[in-house]
Amino acid sequence: MIKAILLDFDQTLVDSTDGFRYAEKQAQKKIFENICVNSWEDFLLVYRPLRKQRHAESKLSRKALWEEVYWHYCRDCDLSLLDQWEDEYWQAVKDRTVLFPEALSTLRNLAGRYRLAAISNTQAQAGSQKHRLVQMPEVMKCFETVIIAGEEGVPPKPDPRVFQACLETLGVEPSQAVFVGDDWHADICGATDAGLHAIWIKHHQLSRSWPEPDRDIAAPVITSLENLLDIDSLLS
Protein backbone atom coordinates (compact mmCIF):
# COMPACT_ATOMS: atom_id res chain seq x y z
CA MET A 1 0.00 0.00 0.00
CA ILE A 2 1.37 3.39 -1.01
CA LYS A 3 1.60 5.83 1.88
CA ALA A 4 3.93 8.53 0.53
CA ILE A 5 4.60 10.30 -2.75
CA LEU A 6 7.93 12.04 -3.21
CA LEU A 7 8.43 14.45 -6.10
CA ASP A 8 11.22 16.16 -7.99
CA PHE A 9 10.95 19.89 -8.77
CA ASP A 10 12.32 21.00 -12.15
CA GLN A 11 10.35 19.66 -15.12
CA THR A 12 8.18 17.69 -12.69
CA LEU A 13 6.27 20.39 -10.82
CA VAL A 14 7.48 23.34 -12.87
CA ASP A 15 8.53 24.15 -16.42
CA SER A 16 11.94 25.78 -16.24
CA THR A 17 13.05 24.91 -19.77
CA ASP A 18 13.06 28.47 -21.08
CA GLY A 19 14.82 29.69 -17.94
CA PHE A 20 17.69 27.25 -18.24
CA ARG A 21 18.06 27.83 -21.98
CA TYR A 22 18.15 31.60 -21.54
CA ALA A 23 20.50 31.47 -18.53
CA GLU A 24 22.88 29.08 -20.33
CA LYS A 25 23.03 31.23 -23.44
CA GLN A 26 23.75 34.36 -21.41
CA ALA A 27 26.44 32.63 -19.34
CA GLN A 28 28.13 31.17 -22.42
CA LYS A 29 28.17 34.58 -24.10
CA LYS A 30 29.72 36.27 -21.05
CA ILE A 31 32.46 33.64 -20.73
CA PHE A 32 33.21 33.60 -24.46
CA GLU A 33 33.62 37.37 -24.56
CA ASN A 34 35.65 37.45 -21.34
CA ILE A 35 38.05 34.70 -22.42
CA CYS A 36 38.48 36.39 -25.82
CA VAL A 37 38.69 33.31 -28.01
CA ASN A 38 38.17 33.64 -31.76
CA SER A 39 35.66 30.93 -32.66
CA TRP A 40 32.22 30.60 -31.06
CA GLU A 41 31.80 27.13 -32.56
CA ASP A 42 35.14 25.94 -31.14
CA PHE A 43 34.22 27.42 -27.76
CA LEU A 44 30.99 25.43 -27.69
CA LEU A 45 32.92 22.26 -28.58
CA VAL A 46 34.83 22.81 -25.33
CA TYR A 47 32.03 24.10 -23.13
CA ARG A 48 29.26 21.63 -23.90
CA PRO A 49 31.19 18.38 -23.26
CA LEU A 50 32.49 19.76 -19.96
CA ARG A 51 28.94 20.67 -18.90
CA LYS A 52 27.60 17.26 -19.98
CA GLN A 53 30.33 15.40 -18.11
CA ARG A 54 29.80 17.35 -14.90
CA HIS A 55 26.04 16.78 -15.09
CA ALA A 56 26.56 13.04 -15.53
CA GLU A 57 28.79 13.03 -12.45
CA SER A 58 26.25 15.08 -10.40
CA LYS A 59 28.76 17.91 -10.11
CA LEU A 60 26.25 20.70 -9.99
CA SER A 61 28.08 24.00 -9.49
CA ARG A 62 27.91 26.36 -12.45
CA LYS A 63 30.81 28.37 -11.02
CA ALA A 64 33.00 25.27 -10.85
CA LEU A 65 32.11 24.45 -14.46
CA TRP A 66 33.07 27.91 -15.59
CA GLU A 67 36.36 27.74 -13.69
CA GLU A 68 37.12 24.54 -15.58
CA VAL A 69 36.44 26.30 -18.89
CA TYR A 70 38.88 29.07 -17.96
CA TRP A 71 41.43 26.44 -16.92
CA HIS A 72 41.06 24.72 -20.30
CA TYR A 73 41.98 27.97 -22.05
CA CYS A 74 44.80 28.70 -19.56
CA ARG A 75 43.06 31.91 -18.54
CA ASP A 76 42.84 33.47 -15.09
CA CYS A 77 39.30 34.14 -13.89
CA ASP A 78 37.83 36.68 -11.50
CA LEU A 79 36.05 34.53 -8.91
CA SER A 80 33.92 37.44 -7.68
CA LEU A 81 32.75 37.97 -11.26
CA LEU A 82 31.83 34.29 -11.53
CA ASP A 83 29.86 34.62 -8.30
CA GLN A 84 27.96 37.53 -9.82
CA TRP A 85 27.29 35.59 -13.02
CA GLU A 86 26.05 32.60 -11.04
CA ASP A 87 23.59 34.82 -9.14
CA GLU A 88 22.40 36.27 -12.45
CA TYR A 89 22.10 32.76 -13.88
CA TRP A 90 19.75 31.55 -11.15
CA GLN A 91 17.76 34.78 -11.19
CA ALA A 92 17.16 34.27 -14.91
CA VAL A 93 16.03 30.69 -14.31
CA LYS A 94 13.73 31.80 -11.48
CA ASP A 95 12.15 34.59 -13.53
CA ARG A 96 11.27 32.12 -16.28
CA THR A 97 10.10 29.19 -14.14
CA VAL A 98 6.35 28.51 -14.04
CA LEU A 99 4.24 25.90 -12.29
CA PHE A 100 2.56 23.39 -14.52
CA PRO A 101 -1.12 24.39 -14.65
CA GLU A 102 -2.35 21.30 -12.79
CA ALA A 103 0.48 21.17 -10.23
CA LEU A 104 -1.02 22.99 -7.26
CA SER A 105 -4.50 21.48 -7.46
CA THR A 106 -3.03 18.00 -7.85
CA LEU A 107 -0.71 18.43 -4.88
CA ARG A 108 -3.54 19.66 -2.71
CA ASN A 109 -5.67 16.68 -3.69
CA LEU A 110 -2.87 14.21 -3.02
CA ALA A 111 -1.98 15.83 0.31
CA GLY A 112 -5.31 14.72 1.69
CA ARG A 113 -4.59 11.08 0.83
CA TYR A 114 -0.80 10.61 1.01
CA ARG A 115 2.21 11.97 2.82
CA LEU A 116 4.03 14.27 0.41
CA ALA A 117 7.68 15.26 0.22
CA ALA A 118 9.97 16.91 -2.31
CA ILE A 119 13.57 16.11 -3.15
CA SER A 120 15.43 18.46 -5.47
CA ASN A 121 19.11 18.72 -6.24
CA THR A 122 20.50 22.06 -5.18
CA GLN A 123 22.30 22.67 -8.51
CA ALA A 124 24.67 24.68 -6.32
CA GLN A 125 22.34 27.61 -5.89
CA ALA A 126 24.34 29.03 -2.98
CA GLY A 127 22.18 27.73 -0.16
CA SER A 128 18.93 25.86 0.31
CA GLN A 129 16.92 28.99 1.05
CA LYS A 130 17.72 30.30 -2.43
CA HIS A 131 16.31 27.24 -4.17
CA ARG A 132 13.26 28.17 -6.26
CA LEU A 133 11.12 25.53 -4.55
CA VAL A 134 11.33 27.13 -1.12
CA GLN A 135 10.34 30.44 -2.68
CA MET A 136 6.94 29.01 -3.66
CA PRO A 137 5.05 29.04 -0.33
CA GLU A 138 1.77 27.62 -1.68
CA VAL A 139 3.65 24.62 -3.05
CA MET A 140 5.72 24.24 0.12
CA LYS A 141 2.55 23.99 2.22
CA CYS A 142 1.68 20.73 0.46
CA PHE A 143 4.84 18.95 1.64
CA GLU A 144 5.62 17.49 5.04
CA THR A 145 9.32 17.72 4.30
CA VAL A 146 11.55 19.19 1.60
CA ILE A 147 15.11 18.05 0.99
CA ILE A 148 17.51 20.13 -1.08
CA ALA A 149 20.14 17.54 -1.94
CA GLY A 150 23.76 18.21 -2.73
CA GLU A 151 24.75 20.43 0.18
CA GLU A 152 25.19 20.33 3.96
CA GLY A 153 26.28 16.71 3.84
CA VAL A 154 23.24 15.50 1.88
CA PRO A 155 24.35 13.73 -1.32
CA PRO A 156 22.65 14.68 -4.59
CA LYS A 157 20.38 12.36 -6.50
CA PRO A 158 20.83 9.62 -7.71
CA ASP A 159 22.57 8.65 -4.45
CA PRO A 160 20.11 6.30 -2.66
CA ARG A 161 20.93 7.92 0.69
CA VAL A 162 18.99 11.08 -0.10
CA PHE A 163 15.81 9.07 -0.77
CA GLN A 164 16.39 6.99 2.36
CA ALA A 165 16.88 10.10 4.49
CA CYS A 166 13.57 11.50 3.27
CA LEU A 167 11.73 8.25 4.05
CA GLU A 168 13.25 8.12 7.52
CA THR A 169 11.89 11.60 8.18
CA LEU A 170 8.44 10.49 7.08
CA GLY A 171 8.64 7.14 8.89
CA VAL A 172 7.72 5.27 5.69
CA GLU A 173 9.26 2.13 4.21
CA PRO A 174 10.68 2.30 0.64
CA SER A 175 8.09 -0.21 -0.62
CA GLN A 176 5.35 2.14 0.62
CA ALA A 177 6.64 5.15 -1.34
CA VAL A 178 6.70 6.43 -4.90
CA PHE A 179 9.12 8.91 -6.41
CA VAL A 180 8.01 11.01 -9.38
CA GLY A 181 10.59 12.70 -11.57
CA ASP A 182 11.63 13.56 -15.11
CA ASP A 183 15.32 12.62 -15.03
CA TRP A 184 15.90 8.97 -15.95
CA HIS A 185 19.25 8.68 -14.21
CA ALA A 186 18.88 10.92 -11.15
CA ASP A 187 15.20 10.30 -10.44
CA ILE A 188 14.09 6.94 -11.82
CA CYS A 189 17.31 4.96 -11.36
CA GLY A 190 18.12 6.68 -8.07
CA ALA A 191 14.70 6.02 -6.54
CA THR A 192 14.67 2.43 -7.76
CA ASP A 193 18.11 1.77 -6.26
CA ALA A 194 16.75 3.07 -2.94
CA GLY A 195 13.88 0.57 -3.09
CA LEU A 196 11.07 2.98 -4.01
CA HIS A 197 8.55 2.66 -6.79
CA ALA A 198 9.32 5.14 -9.57
CA ILE A 199 7.09 7.03 -11.98
CA TRP A 200 8.65 8.79 -14.95
CA ILE A 201 6.93 12.03 -15.88
CA LYS A 202 7.33 13.23 -19.46
CA HIS A 203 5.09 16.26 -19.23
CA HIS A 204 3.12 16.97 -22.39
CA GLN A 205 4.04 20.66 -22.23
CA LEU A 206 7.75 19.93 -22.54
CA SER A 207 9.43 19.75 -25.92
CA ARG A 208 12.62 17.77 -25.39
CA SER A 209 14.45 14.60 -26.36
CA TRP A 210 13.93 11.91 -23.74
CA PRO A 211 16.75 9.42 -23.16
CA GLU A 212 16.39 5.76 -23.97
CA PRO A 213 16.30 3.72 -20.74
CA ASP A 214 19.57 1.88 -20.18
CA ARG A 215 18.14 -0.33 -17.44
CA ASP A 216 15.16 -2.64 -17.19
CA ILE A 217 13.03 -0.70 -14.70
CA ALA A 218 9.26 -1.06 -14.56
CA ALA A 219 8.53 2.65 -14.21
CA PRO A 220 5.12 3.79 -15.48
CA VAL A 221 5.22 6.89 -17.70
CA ILE A 222 2.81 9.78 -17.19
CA THR A 223 2.34 13.01 -19.15
CA SER A 224 0.52 15.08 -16.53
CA LEU A 225 0.61 15.34 -12.75
CA GLU A 226 -3.12 14.68 -12.76
CA ASN A 227 -2.33 11.08 -13.68
CA LEU A 228 -1.10 10.65 -10.08
CA LEU A 229 -4.64 10.96 -8.78
CA ASP A 230 -5.11 7.30 -9.71
CA ILE A 231 -1.73 6.10 -8.55
CA ASP A 232 -2.88 2.60 -7.59
CA SER A 233 -3.88 1.92 -11.19
CA LEU A 234 -0.54 3.24 -12.42
CA LEU A 235 1.42 0.87 -10.24
CA SER A 236 -0.78 -2.15 -10.86
Q: What is the pLDDT of residues 162-176, one digit of tens each?
A: 999 999 999 999 999
pLDDT of res. 154 = 79
The per-residue pLDDT of the chain, averaged, comes to 91
Cα dihedral sign, 165-171-177-181: negative
> Per-residue confidence at 47, pLDDT binned at 50, 70, 90?
very high
pLDDT of res. 61 = 81
Whether residues 109 and 207 fall in one domain? yes
Above 80 in pLDDT, residue 134?
no
**Of 45-49, 141-145, 208-212, where does mean pLDDT reach its minimum?**
208-212
> Last residue of a domain, which of 95, 114, 138?
95
pLDDT of res. 129 = 58
pLDDT of res. 130 = 63
> Last residue of a domain, which of 61, 95, 129?
95
Q: Residues 14-28: what's their mean pLDDT?
A: 94
Q: Percent of the chain at pLDDT above 90?
A: 75
Contact by Cβ (8 Å): 119, 8: yes
127 conformational bin, left if phi > 0, alpha if psi -120 to 50, beta if neither: left
Give the pTM: 0.88
- Other Cβ atoms closer than 10 A to 58: 17
Above 70 in pLDDT, residue 33?
yes
Domain range for 25 is 18-95
Contact by Cβ (8 Å): 210, 187: no
Whether residues 111 and 86 fall in one domain? no
Whether residues 120 and 176 fall in one domain? yes
Q: Residues 89-97: what's their mean pLDDT?
A: 90
> Last residue of a domain, which of 52, 67, 95?
95
Q: How many domains does the chain have?
A: 2
pLDDT of res. 32 = 96
Q: Residues 126-145: what's their mean pLDDT?
A: 80
pLDDT tens, residue by residue, 215-228: 999 899 999 999 99
- Other Cβ atoms closer than 10 A to 119: 28
